[in-house]
A and B are shown apart, each in its own frame.
Chain A
Amino acid sequence: MSKKSTHLIAVLGALVGLLWLFPFYMIVTNSFKTPKGIFASVLALPHPSTGRNYVNSFKALHFIGSLTNSLIITVCGVLLIILCSSMAAYALQRNHSKLSGALLLLFISSMLIPFQSVMIPLTANFGSVHALNMWGLMFMYLGFDCSLSIFLYQGTLSSIPFAMDEAAEMEGASRWQIFYKVIFPMLSPMTVTVAILNIIAIWNDYLLPSLVLPQAQYTIPLQMFNFFGEYTKQWHLALAGITLSIIPVILFYLAAQKWIIKGVTDGAVK
């Protein structure tokens, strides 16, 4: 390619990039303004700038509490999904019968069902056994998200030769030891993918937790929704709250970008 057209493409790229970053510019700059400053100009840089909005929205969002709830639910939920789905995929893949084929089809067919089609009886049932809390929520995530995870693990398992199992069995390992010590470590690249996909989905989920969690266990999105209802007309506070709530996500993204891109690609293409 000629030098001139490379420059042209770089300029085009910079322009589109700026367009994409514009919303971030808007929320971050305005979150440092006073209400008067926002009223005077939403496009200008903050002058004078203030950090008070952050102090106030940090308190109003119960930020430490909701961050902790989000972390507990995401981490425990994802670990549960990884453990149970890899076990299930292993059992299904190493059993070549009509039954395992049928069970796999059952898991895959559940992916056709949208959340709204099950939510009302689901929450009614869990409510009647007093399971509308974060532990019940984690179990629900297992039910909703295990199918895609099993499907992804299945693909990787088929490339691990059966001789691995047999060798371990000859040395006297139990079925659980074979899985835990030999097979599971070999699945790690796929485990990263499964983890990434579920972390993003669970961390950002709103509707299901809003139907399940009591107020004391509110996650960041739920707290944001409540907070926003109270401060809609006070954009300086609302924007500081928004910025606070996306900081953890952006940090995670920048730290794990390589795996995130790989995970998202695997999840969509396979």
Chain B
Amino acid sequence: MKNRSLSFWLFLTPTLVALALVVFIPMLEGLFYSFTDWDGLSFTKMVGFQNYITLLHDKAFVNAFWFTVAFVIVTVIALNVIGLGLALLVTQKFKGSNFLRTVFFMPNMIGGLILGFIWQFIFTQGFSALGSALHAGWLENWLTTENTGFWGLVIVTVWQMSGYIMIIYIAYLQNISQEIIEAAEIDGASAWQRFTKITFPMIAPAFTVCMFLTLSNGFKIYDQNLSLTGGGPYNSTQMLAMDIVNTAYNASNFSLAEAKAIVFFIIVAAISLIQVFYNRKREVDL
């Protein structure tokens, strides 16, 4: 199709218009408003970097930032270890391995909001029942402290996303030819040697894919946060996305929320760009 042909533009119009109106124009407006005293409807003056300076001293934002960073570090490690573990488990030949795949992936179909509600019941009711039955005090009063709220969010995320990560690892595991494994077996390699010397190097690309996927997902989590802890107690378990929503729609501080949203964009975009460059480099190296 030629650039100047009418059909070229007709085919592209719906998506280009939607992309402009839904993503790019609001993004640019938001960038502009972050330098003003916008109240959601209008603004009176430009304020320079004032909102960005305020944000650096904003306790809620700084706390949300470090809480999110800690959450991301823990979930990236946990999801990759457990996801790979599940993938290795269900790719063994035994009765019921297909059924297990179905089970492990199932939580991923359910939205984060409902997952949070499900686990709220388990943490507050189920855990305390287990705790009193086993006389284990640490199982009681979950979600009432920052610490239990943190681990609660980690558990929900691991339960939800491990199956997803598992599927990606399975896709790479199935690409490894059985002949190489059998040849190594004949040469006398132990199961551990086969895993570290053959399987692990061959699924290294999957590790990159999964790491960046869990990394950027972790930063963007909102629904689970809202329904599991609601950010409480006292906003101590509030993550970045939730802090932005609350600054805008609860505190009605729209220009500050915009500045936070721009910082949020820079963090998330940086992660994705590092991934793109990393992948390029790897492809060149190969």
Q: Which residues of A contact B (CB under 8 A)?
A: 1, 6, 9-10, 12-14, 16-17, 20-21, 23, 26-27, 30, 38, 41-43, 84-85, 87-88, 90-92, 94-95, 97, 99-100, 103, 106-107, 110-122, 124-125, 139-140, 142-144, 146-147, 150, 175-176, 179, 200, 203-207, 211, 221, 224-225, 228, 235, 238-239, 242, 245-246, 249-250, 252-254, 257, 260-261, 264-265, 268-269
Contacts and interface: CB of A to CB of B under 8 A. Distances in A.
B125 A38 contact: yes
Contacts of A43: 126, 129-130, 133
B22 A118 contact: yes
A222 B73 CA distance: 30
A10 B7 contact: no
B268 to A, nearest CB: 5
Interface of B: 1-3, 5, 7-8, 11-12, 14-16, 18-19, 21-27, 29-30, 33, 40-41, 86, 89-90, 92-97, 99-114, 117-119, 121-122, 125-126, 129-130, 133, 159, 164, 167-168, 171, 209, 213, 219-220, 222-223, 226-227, 241, 244-245, 248-249, 254, 257-258, 261-262, 264-265, 268-269, 272-273
In the A-B complex, the 9 residue pairs with the smallest Cβ-Cβ separation, listed nearest first, are A143-B22, A204-B111, A91-B11, A143-B18, A121-B26, A121-B29, A118-B26, A175-B7, A117-B265
B269 A113 contact: yes
Contacts of A204: 110-114, 223
Nearest to A21: B103
Contacts of A88: 11-12, 14-16
Contacts of B227: 225, 228
A67 B58 CA distance: 41
A81 to B, nearest CB: 9
Contacts of A42: 125-126, 129
Nearest to A265: B171
A107 B121 CA distance: 41
Given A144-B22, A206-B223, A120 B248 contact: yes
Contacts of B1: 91, 94-95, 175
14 contacts: A10-B95, A13-B92, A17-B100, A43-B133, A85-B15, A88-B12, A114-B268, A116-B261, A118-B22, A143-B21, A175-B7, A206-B223, A238-B121, A253-B106
Contacts of A117: 27, 30, 261-262, 264-265
Most buried by B among A94, A200, A211, A261: A261
B114 A224 contact: yes
Contacts of A175: 1, 5, 7, 11
A142 B94 contact: no
Contacts of B26: 118-122, 125
Nearest to B115: A23
Nearest to B266: A117
Contacts of B126: 26, 42-43
Nearest to A241: B117
A7 B27 CA distance: 56
Nearest to A31: B121
A146 B1 CA distance: 21
Nearest to A128: B41
A74 B124 CA distance: 33
A147 B24 CA distance: 13
A94 B7 CA distance: 12
Contact of A12 (B29, B89, B129, B258): B89
Nearest to B9: A91
Nearest to A225: B113
A13 B269 contact: no
B274 to A, nearest CB: 11
Contact of A13 (B18, B97, B119, B133): B97
Contacts of A23: 107, 118-119, 122, 159
A107 B24 CA distance: 10
